[in-house]
Chains A and B, each alone.
Chain A
Amino acid sequence: MPERREDDVAIEVEHLIKRFPRAQSNAVDDLSFSVPRGETFGLLGPNGAGKTTTIGILTTRVRPSGGRAAIGGLDVVRSPIGAKQRIAVVPQRSNLDRSLRVGEILTYHAAYHGVGRQEREAHASELLEEFGLGARAKQQLSIFSGGMEQRVLLARALMHDPDVLFLDEPTNNLDPQARLFLWGRIRALHEQGVSIVLTTHDMEEADRLCDRIAIMDHGRILALDTPEGLRRLIPGGAVLEVGVRVPQAALVGSASDGGSDDGDHFRTTLERLPGVTTVERAREDGATGSVLYRVYATDDTGALLANAAQAVIQEQGELRDLRMARPTLEDVFIHLTGRDLRS
C-alpha cells in the first residue's frame, strides 16, 4: 500500500476486535479498513453482523477489546474528546432532546461543541430553512413525524461542521420523499468533501451513494470494493434477456431444413455472438409461441444488445423483449452472506 499522509485518511481501523462479556464469539473480529478523506463508505451486512458495534467503537461509545481505530489520525480510545469533536452521528434511534424546541436543539448542540452564539444562530436558521423546517423552529418535537425528526437529526449532526459523518440506517422507515431528500443531502455533503460512513439494508441506497462498500458478516469484512467491483464477484458478469416470438413460417422453414428443434436454432445463433459464454432457454410460453433466452456474457454488453437484436431479426424471429439483467448488489450480498435467517 502506498504511503499516505495522515491528513488524507479520515478513518483508520486496524485489527479491531470487540468481544462482549459472556459472548460466544467476537462481535467485531479482526477488522481492518481505512476510509480516505471525502469518501462515502458503505457498511452492509445482515443484522448482528457487527456494523453498529463498529460504528459504536468509531464514535467512542463502545470500548474496543483490541486493535486500533482512529478518526483523522486521533485514536478513539486515547483521545476520545478530540475524535468526538470531528465526528457527527445520525443514530438509528432518535436521541433528540425532547425538552427543547427544534431550533434550540440545533443551537444547543452547537454550543456543546463550542460554536459561538452568532454563528450557531445563523447556521441553525439556515439549516432549518434548507431542510424545510424554517417555520417550525419554535415548535416542540413531540408533534413531529418520523421523517421530520430524521431531518432534525441530520441538521443537528451538521451544526458543528464534522469531518466525518456517521449515518446508521438513516432511511429506515422513511417515506420516498424524505428518502430522496436525504439522499440529495448526503450527495451534497459528499461533494463538500465530508467523509461519510453509511450503514444500511437498502441495497439501492448503498449502490447510489457509496464510493466503496464493505460487506460484513460475523464481525469480518467479506468483500470491500466499489459497487461495480462487487458486482463482478458474481460469476457470469452481464446477463441479457431476449424474448423471441417465433413466427409460423420460420418454424416450418427450420424444421424442413435439418429437422432441428426451433429453440436450438435461435440458441445457436445467439451463442455465436462475440462474448457470449452460455445461452439458456429460460422460459417458454406455449400460448403466444414466445421463448425467453438468458444470455450470459463476459463482454461489453452495449454491443451485445445490438448484436442480439440484429441476430434475432435476421433469423426472422419477432423480438418481444430485450433487457439487461445486471446482477444487483442484493445478489452479491446474498451470494456472500447466504440465504439463512440470522438467529
Chain B
Amino acid sequence: MSALSQSIEQREVRRQGAVRASWTAFLAIISRDLLVTRRQTITFLLQTLVQPLFFLFVFGKVFTNIGVASGAFPALLLPGIVALTTFLTAMQSTSIDLARDLGFTLEIEDRLPLSLTLFCSQA
C-alpha cells in the first residue's frame, strides 16, 4: 500500500517534458524489444537464416542439377540472395509485428505512453 500512496509532489518529479518523455519511452521500448528478441534467439535465427539457405539450395543447387541453370548461376545468385534477404528481413521484422500490434491485439497501445493519435487519428 505504501508505494501506491505516493504524494503528488513525488509524482510530479517523475513527469518530464514531451521530448524527454519520448526519449525515455523510446529507449525503454528498444530494451524491451532486445529482451524479447534475445529470448526468442533460436526462432529468430531460424526465421532469418533458413529462408536464404533454402533459396540458395533450390535455385543454386537444384536448378543446376536438373539443368535449368548453368554451372555459373550460383555465383551470380549469391549476391542477389544477400540483397533480397536484407530487404525481406528488414521489411518483415517491422511490418508483420507492427500490423499485428496495431491490428488485432492492440498491444502497441500498452507500449506507447505517448500519444497514439500520431498513428491512428480516427480509431
Contacts and interface: CB of A to CB of B under 8 A. Distances in A.
A333 interface: no
Interface string B6-35: 101011001110101110110011011001
Interface stretch (A112-120, A240-248, A255-263, A272-280): A112-120
A158 B6 CA distance: 11
Given A62-B123, A98-B105, A114-B21, A82 B110 contact: no
Contact of B105 (A95, A114, A163): A95
B106 interface: yes
Contact of B4 (A79, A100, A192): A192
Contacts of A158: 4
Contact of B36 (A82, A85, A99, A188): A99
Nearest to A59: B116
A108 interface: yes
Contacts of A86: 15
Contact of A93 (B11, B24, B29, B106): B106
Contact of B113 (A79, A85, A97, A122): A85
Nearest to B33: A99
A116 to B, nearest CB: 8
Contacts of A21: 122
Interface residues of B, number: 41
Contact of B5 (A108, A156, A160, A192): A192
B110 A163 contact: no
A316 interface: no
Of A62, A80, A113, A114, most buried by chain B (CB within 10 Å of CB) is A114
B28 A61 contact: no
B92 to A, nearest CB: 16
A96 B108 CA distance: 9
Interface residues of A, number: 45
A98 B14 CA distance: 27
Contact of A82 (B4, B15, B29, B117): B15
Contacts of B25: 112-114
A201 interface: no
A85 B14 CA distance: 9
A70 to B, nearest CB: 14
A113 B107 contact: no
Contact of A63 (B10, B31, B39, B117): B117
B62 interface: no
Interface in A1-31: 20-21
A126 interface: yes
A45 interface: no
A23 B20 CA distance: 38
A37 to B, nearest CB: 9
A169 to B, nearest CB: 15
A130 B5 CA distance: 14
Contacts of B20: 114
B107 A112 contact: no
Contacts of B28: 108, 111-112, 114
Contacts of B6: 161
Contact of B18 (A81, A99, A126): A81
Contacts of A104: 35
Interface in B24-70: 24-25, 28-29, 31-32, 35-36, 39-40
Nearest to B120: A61
B23 to A, nearest CB: 9
Contact of A97 (B15, B31, B111, B120): B111
A99 to B, nearest CB: 5
B121 to A, nearest CB: 5
A114 B16 CA distance: 8
A84 B118 CA distance: 13
B21 A61 contact: no
B117 A123 contact: no
Interface in A178-205: 188-189, 192
A113 B113 contact: yes
B91 interface: no
Given A82-B18, A96-B107, 12 more contacts: A81-B18, A85-B16, A95-B106, A97-B110, A112-B111, A114-B28, A123-B3, A126-B3, A127-B3, A161-B4, A163-B8, A192-B4
